[in-house]
Amino acid sequence: MASRIFLHIGLPKSGTTFLQTTMWANRPQLKRQGVLYPGKERLDHFQAFQQVRGAQQQGTGGAWDQLLAELRAWDGTGLVSHEFFCMATPEQARRVIDDLQPAEVHVVVTARAFCLQFPALWQEALKMSYDGGFDQFMDEAFAGKRRGAWGWSSQDVPAILETWSQLVPTDRLHVITVPPPGSPRDLLWKRWAATLGLDDSRFDLEVSYPNESLGAAQAALLRQVKPYLSGPLTDGPTRHRWVRRYFGHEVLVPQKGARFYPSEKYVDELRRRSVETVEAIERGGFPVAGDLADLTVDCPTTDGPHPDRVTDEEMVQVAARAIEQMIRDMREMTLDRNKWREKARSRGAGARRDPLRRLAGRVRRRSTS
């Protein structure tokens, strides 16, 4: 079994995609430093959590079993990372820690200021199954009505720390704060590397891609599109690929719309919960990489752009730019398709000619024999 294992449990929208993408692309470098990031693909760590929470059967060759098998065959440091582990129940968390024995398990929590978290959480919910506005989302989250990855349960740092602190010693429960906007791009990675004891001088950070946010008007347009989704676009995996990734990340995000923040009426509650989060970390005595002040950053403005207040004219402008982008994408795809069709026709014609040539050759040989 790996002698030491770092279990990165999130939180969602706390730089996890950046960290996971960087580590996955640099797995050879990790191995050279004695660190195994197991799995055949990065998604295996999400599937591992699915098995832990009961969506896949335990002990049937599922993703969690497969990761465990790799970790048991490794004698250095192991690493498991998915942000949904923070939603594990106390019973599920205990099973995870028990399964990782006898390794020395370290649990890592990455956390970010709530004024930045909640716009990101709403956007992720909107890209998938949620159809409500931003203010409605905030009301539901504060009332405890939002469950799962995009609700308060995935952001309740004091409760999450309480769950995992029952299972690992205080000095093995690490908190990494996400730097505020404008910080050096590699600062989160440096905090991560310091926590894991990595020499980060040889890692390629250019392999990761930023999981950027939608602007206020772009998010408003996406919300207007949602009721018109039909057919296969209502299927979860299809919606994830084409609504979230293509329309959201490839068409709308590049427009670089104005960043938005929660409305004024939520500022005091966000501040209160931020203070409670910092107090829980300090009270627990957990090792911190970064600055706890990163978690109490207030919203820079509450009277700026807001997706619930976007005008029809603003949405039309966003939609026009999106349509132009999609026309260009379709043109490029059509040209590629036609090019490959022409190549296929050429190969097919050549294949049809070859037997005729062979037959003609045999006929000539027989006629001369």
Does residue 80 sit within a domain?
A: yes
Q: Between vectors from CA 16 to CA 10 and to CA 21, what angle results, nearest 5°? A: 140
Does residue 42 sit within a domain?
yes
Rounded Cα distance between 117 and 175, Å, is 16
What integer pLDDT is reported at residue 368 of this predicted model?
A: 47
How many domains does the chain contain in total? 1
Q: How far is CA 176 from the centre of its chain?
A: 17
Q: What is the pLDDT of residue 58?
A: 53
Residue 136's closest CA among 148, 149, 124, 146? 146
CATH number of the structural domain spanning residue 97: 3.40.50
Amino acid 362: pLDDT = 54
- Contact by Cβ (8 Å): 22, 207: yes
Return per-residue pLDDT of the chain as tens, 369 residues.
Answer: 999 999 999 999 999 999 999 999 999 999 999 999 999 999 999 999 999 998 765 555 699 999 999 999 999 999 999 999 999 999 999 999 999 999 999 999 999 999 999 999 999 999 988 999 999 999 999 998 988 899 999 999 999 999 999 999 999 999 999 999 889 989 999 999 999 999 999 999 988 766 688 999 999 999 999 999 999 999 999 999 999 999 999 999 999 999 999 999 999 999 999 999 999 999 999 999 999 999 999 887 777 899 999 999 999 999 999 999 999 999 999 999 999 999 888 887 655 555 555 545 554 554 444
Cross-strand bridge partners of residue 225 = none
5 bridge partner residues: 78, 105
- Residue-level pLDDT at 311: 97
| Alpha helices per DSSP H over the chain | 16-25, 27-32, 44-52, 63-72, 90-99, 114-127, 134-142, 157-165, 187-196, 216-225, 236-239, 267-284, 312-368
pLDDT in the model for residue 140: 95
Q: At what angle do helices 90-99 and 157-165 cross, to 10 degrees?
A: 50
pLDDT of residue 348: 75
Is residue 127 assigned to a domain? no
Alpha-carbon span 342 to 337, nearest angstrom? 9
In a domain, 188, yes or no: yes
Q: Measured between alpha carbons, how far is 128 from 176 in angstroms, rounded to an integer?
A: 28
**Inside any domain, residue 128:** no
Q: Which residues contact 88 (CB under 8 A, 6 or more apart)?
A: 9, 49, 52, 53, 96, 163
| Residue 280, domain member (yes or no) | yes
Residue 22 is assigned to a structural domain of this protein? yes
Phi and psi based region of residue 144 (left: phi greater than 0; alpha: psi -120 to 50; beta: remaining): left
pLDDT score of 354 = 57
Specify whether the CB–CB gap between 26 and 208 falls below 8 A: no
Tell how strand 35-36 and strand 77-81 pair up: parallel
What is the model's pLDDT at position 209? 64
Closest CA to 152 of 127, 122, 181: 122
122-157 per-residue burial string, b: 16 or more CB within 10 A, e: under 16: bbbbbbbebebbbbebbebbeeeebeebbbbbbbbb
The domain in which residue 174 lies consists of: 4-114+150-211+265-299
CA distance 322 to 214: 13
In a domain, residue 76? The reply is yes
